[in-house]
Amino acid sequence: MKAEPIRRLLQVILVRRAWMEKNKQEFIEQNVRELEFLNKPLDDLNPGELRQAAKPLELASINPEDPSNLDMLIRAMGLSPAEKDRLVKTIQGGVPHQVLNARKHDEESQIIARAGSYGMVTIATNMAGRGVDIKLGGELPEDVLAGVIRVLHRSEKDPYDMTNEQRREALLAMPREEFGIYEEAVNAFMEYMDNMERVRALGGLHVVGSERHEARRIDNQLRGRAARQGDPGSSRFYLSLEDELMRLFGGAQVDGLIKRLNIDESYPIEHNLLGRLVEQAQERVEGSNFDVRKHLLEYDDVLNTQRKRIYEQRDRVFTKPDLTDDVLEMLETDLNLRVPEALKDEEEGPWKLLAFMDEVQPTFDYEGVLYPSLTQRLLVDDLKKQLEKTPGTVYDMREACLDLAGRALQAEREHIVKAARTLLDKMSEALERQRDDRFEVLGNYLESLQSKDEEDQALQRRPQEIAEELSALVHTPLRLTSEQLRQLASGQETVKEPIEEQIENNLLNIAIVRSVTALEHRVENLGIKAGQLQSLNWQEISETLLQSVESGLEAQADRLVGENGQIARDLEPWVEKLKDVPIVERNLAAMLSFMAQGTRMGFDKRTHRQSTLRFTRLNYVFLAARELEDRPAKEVAEQVLEHA
């Protein structure tokens, strides 16, 4: 500690001691009103308050160095008159100390070596110095001990079989002239032994704990630094009711007891009940920490089991020659879980299952063998059934494929229209919910403006600040006239309607933009912009958007499969090519893949050149999903596994 905090602490002791002597009290147990200010932290104490409190107590000065004050401090601290000079040095220069923590790892051994010296104060963190032996009197320097050994060796004595006390007695029995050049080392050795005796006489190493830790083990290790190997020593721990341990586990009980009994805050409480309370709190924390470690080990066991399983699979991949059975087993396990779950949703489940399977196993050609996806397999089987009713010419195949393309577009159209209607319904619900919420916020805000008291009126804000605050609350950029701003500042109801109108228009515009953007991703040419809908109400907007979706899909279908449609024109070269070739499954799958892909002229942003772009014009999953409807999940799962 520095000199200034020590002086302030001694001034507090002087005032308290003077009050006790004036009132003839040996202890201050109950709270004293005129001394309550002394319970503040030392940094917060005002010297003026101390001087003011010292006047009625007949203290001429609160300077600790005054002779009369020194005598009072010596009596208060139980010191002997011989310690007066050391007390004055402490008042003037503070308490010399050394700090032991993790930052000074290179000086740790030197700090510990000096920790047992006479008058040494060592401040250590709770993690530092718990595993060391501290010698009383400090560590004897090696060069000093070497000089003493040489002196004793000259006197024909064996110093290596002697203890330090025996060496001291031997040196005392020798004439000082025999010390020679080692006289300084002998004097240092004798001073070291004298200091060690003084340390022992004072009680050895004293450990002061500033808190009780969550684990009793740490407290015991700190206590164990003192009184080791037969040396004298002592320890004392100080605990505040505001410490984390007491605040969470039982401190409120003791705090309530202190308040009821009006006990002075600075009065130390030493009672077995408090000690048991602290130990119980530590036991609770230790139990809680044990449970945390237990759960952590349980989680680690789960992770370790998963880790072992993953490593086993990895090793199998690296060492097993053929993984076909393993892949099929994994695929079967996944599909047996996925197929029944997908078919529970009769509307969305089948086509999502087919879309997943198309990603897992798309159509591909390997070594001249075409492997169709599950969607194409279902449609090829459908085409084969239709062609069984016809002569089976290439023209029959062309008509069957065009019919399938039309049905695929119709299935996709129904799905998109239904999805658009669902989207608009959800948007309508969200619009109504957000409008009601923001109208409620507006009403509450206007009521708060109307109920301002006189103090609030004195702190009148600018109308523009109020408008900006309201705009942030309702998430709407408000545009108000000067008159409307004045009405808003006073909370008048007349301004409510124009603000509600702006809120509703803002929400409507946001809903329009989001709806149009979402539908443009589904329909190639929606044929309508967000700005064309801003003058309509939501019902009219929904109807207009649905009509635009249906019109766009109809135009797409007419362009692709209508009279002289694009797909029919693209199939003409195929028909001529396959005129004299028998119809086989490979040709049907290839024709489905050909119809699904289209080409258009585009502009390459990277090369800045015109190029031909391929795009998907037919999506078969919605039509193929109808083949899975009303079929048992087990049958569908078997078909999916067989195809895979």
Contacts made by residues 520-527, CB under 8 angstroms, sequence distance 24+: 522/416, 522/419, 522/420, 522/549, 523/416, 523/548, 523/549, 523/552, 523/553, 523/556, 524/552, 524/556, 525/552, 525/555, 525/556, 526/552, 527/551, 527/552
Residue with tokens 């009940």: 273
Does the pLDDT of residue 276 top 80, yes or no? no
Confidence of residue 455 (pLDDT cuts 50, 70, 90): very low
Which segment of 52-66, 419-433, 468-482 scores lowest on mean pLDDT?
52-66
For residue 58, pLDDT over 90 is answered with no
Q: What is the pLDDT of residue 91?
A: 87
10 vs 91: CA distance, rounded Å: 9
CB 614 within 8 A of CB 599: yes
Region 397-421: mean pLDDT is 90
Residue 127 contacts residue 105 (beta carbons within 8 Å): no
pLDDT tens column, 159-197: 888 988 999 998 988 988 888 888 999 999 999 999 999
- The whole-angstrom separation of Cα 481 and Cα 309 is 70
Structural domain boundaries in the chain: 3-93, 347-392+583-643, 414-560
Q: Can you tell me the distance from the alpha carbon of 331 to that of 341, in angstroms, rounded to the nearest whole number?
A: 15
Question: Residue 438: its pLDDT value, please?
Answer: 92
Q: What was the pLDDT predicted at 450?
A: 80
- pLDDT tens for 65-76 read 888 888 888 888
CB-based contacts of 238, cutoff 8 Å, min separation 6: 208, 209, 210, 211, 268
- Over residues 255-267, mean pLDDT: 66
- For residues 602-609, average pLDDT: 75
Please give the Cα distance from 566 to 221 (Å, whole number): 88
pLDDT for 85: 87
Note the pLDDT of residue 407.
92
- C-alpha dihedral over 549, 554, 555, 560, to 10 degrees? 130
Q: Give pLDDT, residue 154.
A: 85
Q: What is the pLDDT of residue 562?
A: 83
Instruction: Average the pLDDT over each of 320-329, 363-372, 511-520 and give the range with the smallest value.
Output: 363-372
- Going by C-alpha positions, the residue among 596, 592, 591, 519 that lies closest to residue 560 is 596
Mean pLDDT of 8-21: 86
Query: Per-residue pLDDT for 126 more than 70?
Result: no
Q: In 3D, which of 106, 181, 176, 642 has the Cα closest to residue 374?
A: 642
DSSP state of 346: T
What's the 3-state SS for 239-308? CCCCCHHHHHCCHHHHHHHHHHHCECCCCCCCCHHHHHHHHHHHHHHHHHHHHHHHHHHHHHHHHHHHHH
Residue 499: per-residue pLDDT: 92
- Please tell me the predicted confidence (pLDDT) of residue 258: 66
Task: Tally Cβ neighbours within 10 Å of residue 215.
Answer: 14
pLDDT at 391 over 80: no
Q: Roughly how many angstroms between the first and final C-alpha of the chain, as a whole number? A: 80
Model confidence pTM above 0.95: no
Q: Which of 126-135, 195-204, 367-376, 429-438 has the lowest mean pLDDT?
A: 126-135
Query: Rounded mean pLDDT of 370-385?
Result: 87
CA–CA distance, 201 with 195 (Å, rounded to integer): 10
- Average pLDDT for residues 47-58, to the nearest whole number? 84
Query: In degrees rounded to 5, what are phi and psi of residue 595?
Result: -65, -30
Contact 485, 467 (CB under 8 A): yes
> 511, 448, 443, 435: which is closest to 475 by C-alpha?
435
Bigger pLDDT: 604 or 142? 142
Q: Which long-range contacts (CB under 8 A, 24 or more apart) does 246-254 make?
A: 246/278, 246/281, 248/281, 249/280, 249/281, 249/284, 249/285, 250/277, 250/280, 250/281, 253/277
Inform me whether the pLDDT recorded for 456 exceeds 50.
Answer: yes
Query: Residue 595, Cβ neighbours under 10 Å: how many?
Result: 24
Name the percent of the chain in helix, strand, coil, to the closest 5: 65, 5, 25
**pLDDT at position 418:** 92
Strands 597-604 vs 609-616: parallel, antiparallel or unpaired: antiparallel
- For residue 459, pLDDT over 60 is answered with no
Whole-angstrom Cα distance, residue 592 to residue 571?
11
Rounded to 5 degrees, what angle do the CA atoms 424, 429, 435 make? 120
Confidence of residue 127 (pLDDT cuts 50, 70, 90): low
**Residue 433: what pLDDT?**
94
* pLDDT bracket for residue 511 (50, 70, 90): very high
Average pLDDT, the chain: 85
- 257 confidence band (pLDDT: 50, 70, 90): low
Burial of 37 per CB tally in 10 Å (0-12, 13-18, 19+): middle
Q: How far apart are CA 601 and CA 457, in angstroms?
A: 69
H/E element, 369: strand 369-371
442-481 per-residue burial string, b: 16 or more CB within 10 A, e: under 16: beebbeebeeeeeeeeeeeeebeebbeebbeebebebebe
- From CA 128, how far away is CA 416, in angstroms rounded? 71
The 10 Å Cβ neighbour count of residue 591 is 22
pLDDT per position as a tens digit, 532-574 = 888 889 999 999 999 999 999 998 889 888 878 888 888 888 7
pLDDT at 33 over 70: yes
> CA 190 to CA 500: how far, in whole Å?
95
Task: State which H helix or E strand residue 614 sits in.
Answer: strand 609-616
